[in-house]
Structure 1
Amino acid sequence: MVERFIAFDVETPNCANDRISAIGITIIENGAVTKDYYYLVNPEVHFDPFNIRLTGITSEMVADKPTFPELWQQIEPIMSSGLLIAHNAPFDMGVLTQCLTDYGIEWQPFTYYACTCVMGRACYPNLPNHKLNALCEYLQINLNHHNAGSDSHACAELLLNYMRRGLKPDRFLRRYDLVQRRTLRPISKTQPSETTKQLLKLKEILDEITADNELSPDEVISLRDWLRRNNALRGNFPFDKIFETVGEALEDGVLENFELEEMLQLFEQITDPVANACSCDCFDISGKTFCLTGEFEFGDRSSVEMALSRRGGTPVSGVTKKTDCVIVGSKGSEAWSNGNYGTKVKKAMELQGKGSPIQIVREQDICNLLPI
C-alpha cells in the first residue's frame, strides 16, 4: 500500500491552461501532512483578466520569480517521491504535462495519480456536488480557494479524511501518459475536434466562475466576451443556451440578483448535471427504458442491467428520444469526455432542453432496486 502521497494544485495565467503561475505541493507521510510548499512561477506569457480575478496573481507579482524549468529542478525530486494526488486531477495533470512538453523537459514516460474529487463521490455520494470548496465546507476544512498552496493542503486533508473512513486510494489509481498527455484509456481512432476542445474550455470557465457558488457581474461580462469571441460554436450544446441566457440578462445593461441566481443554477446544471439531478430514494424502473454510463459501486454494468431488468426495466445501449433515463455509476469514468460526465449524459441534457422528460439518475437513487 502506498504510504507517501504528493498532493498538488496548479493555477494558470490564462485560458490556454498550458502554463503555471503558481503551484502548491503538500506531502503526506504515515497518515499525516508533513510538509507544505508554495511557489509563484513566471509563466512567460500574458495573464487574462479572468485568471487575475480568480487567483489574485498578476504578471508584476511573478516577474522576478523562477520560470517553470528553473523551478522544476527543485521540485522534480518531490513530485517523483510518491503517488500524485489532485482535485479534478486530469486538469492539473494536463497543465503540468503541457509545461513539461513545451519546455522540452523529459521526466518519465508515465506516472500514477488519484483524484480526490472521484474519491469524494465514493465517500460522500449524497452531497449535492463534489467541488473542492463544497467538500471542504462540508468537512470544515480551511480553504482559501484558488490559492495553490491552500488548495493542495485541502486536497491532502480530504485524502486523509477518506482514508480514515476506510477508503483505499489504491482502488482509484489512474495511469497518466506523460508523452501522449492523457489518462491511458482505450485508443480512439479520432482526435477531439477544435469545436469539442472549445466546448470543454467553456465548461472549464463555467466551473471556475461557479466554484464559490456565486456569480458576479464581472464574471458574467467576462463570460459574454468569451462567448462573442467564440461565436463559431453557435449550433452546439450547451453554447446556444448559455449565449441566449447571458445575452437576455445583459440586454438592459443591469444584472438583477434573480438573474444572477438563475444563471448560477443553469451553469451548475451544465457543469455537473449528475450532482444536480433530482434525488429520489424510491425510484421505480418498472416499464422504463434505461441506459447505463460510468462505473458502478454495485458491480459491473452487466450485473446492474440484470438487476434492473428483473425489476421491469429495459436496458438500451444508446440515448434516444425513447430512452426514459440515464443511470450514472457513482465511481464515474476516466473516459468521460466532459470530465464528470460523458456523451450519454450530454445527449440526455440536449433532449431535456428540447422538452424531453428523460431523467438523469444517480446510482445512489436506485439502491433500493439493487440486491444487497
Structure 2
Amino acid sequence: MKNLIGFTLGCLFTFLCLDITPLQAQDAAVNDLIITGIVKNKDSRKKLENVNVSIVGTNIGTVTNADGTFSLKVTEAEAFRGVEVSHIGYLNTHLSLDELGKREDLTIWMIPAPNLLNEIVIYGNNPRTIVEEAIKKIPVNYASSENMLTAFYRETVQKRRRYISVSEAVMDVYKTSYDRRDTEQDKVQLQKGRRLLSQKGGDTLAVKVVGGPNLSLYLDIVKNGDALLSMDNLNYYEFRMEEPVNLDNRMQYVISFRPRVNLMYALFIGKLYIDRERLTFTRADFSLDMANRVKAVEAILHKKPLGLRFRPQEVSYLVTYKQQDSKTYLNYIQNVIRFKCDWKKKLFSSSYTAYSEMVVTDRKEHAFSNISNKNAFKQKQVFYDLVDEYWNEDFWKSYNIIEPTESLEHAVDKLKKQSR
C-alpha cells in the first residue's frame, strides 16, 4: 500500500478536511459553438495566464491556462452577444460574433492599461481604513440572495517536473447570501469527475489533497469572515498602499499586508485589490508566511507516515471576483503548495508540487434545488479517492473547463499509457 500525505488546501484552518460524495453524472445538452483562442500582451507578445473570458451579459465564462489558451462552449444565441476579455493591468477587449468567426486560430491582443489616478482621494489613502470600509460594504456589493455556481476544478501533483496524478471535476457550489459572512450553510457536490495516477514503481509516496474542491467555500475570503478579512484579523497585520492598477476598465487600490505580530499559528503575506469607487474586493494574492517552518507545517500537513520528513517551501493563493451588473461574485481560485520530502537515513529529498484551481463557469440565482446533506461533501474525505478512473476525449462534452496546458496534455498521455 502506498504511503499517504494529506493536505488541507484551506490552510486558514488546520481542520478543513472535507467529504466528497459523487452524484450520477448528467451531461448537458450539446452546445452549438466552441470558441477557442489564445490571449497575448500586445506590447510584449507574451501569453497571458488567468485571463477572464466571458459571454457579454451572461454568467458563462472561463479563464486562460498557463499557455494563454482558452475554449468556451456556448449556444449560437449566446455567442451572438460577443465575448468580453479582462485581466488585471489591461484594458478590456470586446469581440463580436463576426470577429470570433473570422478564423479558427484566434489571437486576442490585450493592451496594457495606463495607471491614471483619479482626482478623488478617498480616506486620505489610509490603507487599513480602505480595507475596513470595503469590509463594511460587503453586504451591499456582493450577492444578497442564494446562488448556485457551476465550477470546474482541477487538482494535480508533480514529483519534480513529472506529473504523478491528475484529477478534475465539474461541481455545483451552493452559496447563501453574503449578508452573513459565514459558510455554515454553503455546500459543494460533484457532478462529474475523472482521474489518472502514475503506475511507476518509483512513485511510492502518494500525495493527496484533503478537501480540495471546497476551495470555493473556505478560500472565498469575502464570504468566509473567519478566513482573513475580519476586523479582528486586521489587527494582526500592517498595511501599505502600492501603485494602483486597472481591472475591468476600473482603477483598483492595491494594498499589501504582512504580519505585525507573532502568533501561535502562521499568518499571511500578500496584496488586496479593491475597486476605488465601489470599494469592492476584486482580487487577493497571498501566501503563508514561511518564517517559522514549524507553524507552516502545522497549517497544511494533515497526515504523513513515520520516518518521513516534510519541508514546505511555498503555500500560495489567488482569489478573484468579477462584477456583473451591480453585484460582485466569486470567479477563480488557485492554490499552490510546494514542498520537499525525504526519508530518514536517506541522502536525497524529492520535490513535490500540489496545484489546484477552480473557475466558476456559470451561475444561477433563485429557481434551483438546494444541495442535500446526503450529497454534500462531508468531513475527512479526499476528492481524488472518490472520482472515477475514466479518461476520454468526449468526457466533458458541453461543460466549460479550464483548457489543459501543453505540458499537462503530454503528462496525461504518459499516465494513460502507464494505466493500460
- TM-score, L = length of structure 2: 0.26
Question: Higher strand proportion, which one?
Answer: 2
- TM-score, L = length of structure 1: 0.28
Higher RCO (Cα < 8 Å, 6 or more apart): 2
Question: Higher helix proportion, which one?
Answer: 1
